[in-house]
Amino acid sequence: MTENGYSPNELLICVASRLMEDGTTAFIGTGIPMLAASLAQRQHAPDLMPIFEFGGMGARLERLPLAVGDMWTFHRGLIAAGICDAMEFAQLGFVDYGFLGGAQIDAYGNLNSTVIGEQKHPKVRLPGSGGANDVGSCCWNTIILMQHSKRRFLEKIDFLTTPGYLTGPGAREQAGLPANTGPYRVVTNLATLDFHPESKRMRLIGLNPGVTKDQVIEETGFELLVADSLAQNAPPSAEELRLLRDEIDKDRFYI
């Protein structure tokens, strides 16, 4: 808990929630994205349509699901389908945002959630792709939620699980991925970042309360672009904290 009365996770949830627009579709994964989507529906995006990997589409997130196949991912939803339908929905171009996480990320937004170290003899074996490759390949915009540190933000990741902008401008299209798709934002415990429209490299655009530009650069293991003007991310409001603590995650599964 910070001296201002909120935790880093609560700040991460609030910043991610504010990126969710009303009337859009969003592919939601387990954990922080679920809380962010639920908060968005309650605050500013009542017509946000969450899509879950196991086929729940358009659920009203009145109770926090514990996984992407939980019954609450179908609650008062528009469609009760299956995993193939959910992925096809993204492939057809119907998903505006996809929320992702990972153990490692590089300057072009490529993600590793498979192994740390060599693939054949890894130091750590991670959960793998699940639907992450599909989400990163086919959703119009991906929003990546991560803890910010040099061991996660790397010049070269150990394994490419989910494509970002691959090696730079035009690389996604050359690989056969849909044009005009790719990483949109990276939200961390320190900052908000986007990707330069020409070079496709990650760029610092906003700082969390109490964080400096130099701190973010120090915790990034590659040369980080910095916007000419940096926004200041607002701390969680009293209402956001009330909703998170008293309604969305009152059993403290995630916060």
Q: Answer for the pair 12, 2: CB distance below 8 angstroms, yes or no.
A: no
> What pLDDT was estimated at residue 119?
86
**Residue 1: predicted pLDDT:** 56
Is 219 noted as a catalytic residue in this protein?
Answer: no
SS3 of 194, please? Answer: strand
Q: Which residues, 6+ apart, have CB-to-CB distance to 41 below 8 Å?
A: 48, 60, 61
Q: What is the pTM of this model?
A: 0.93
Q: What average pLDDT values come out for the chain (255 residues) when binned by 10 residues?
A: 78 95 94 93 96 94 89 93 92 95 96 92 87 94 96 97 97 96 97 98 97 98 97 96 95 86
Dihedral sign computed on CA atoms, order 127, 81, 14, 108:
positive
CATH for 8-248 is: 3.40.1080.10
- d(C-alpha 118, C-alpha 204), whole Å: 30
Active-site pick, 10, 53, 219, 240:
53
Nearest to 154 by CA among 97, 218, 222, 98: 222
DSSP annotation of 73 reads: G
Sorted by where each begins, the domain ranges of the chain are 8-248
Contact present, 17 and 34 (Cβ < 8 Å): no
Strand residue runs (E) in 115-254: 115-117, 122-125, 141-146, 182-188, 191-195, 202-207, 225-232
How does DSSP classify residue 162? B
The pLDDT, as a whole number, for residue 87 is 92
Helix (H, G, I), strand (E, B) or coil at 168: coil
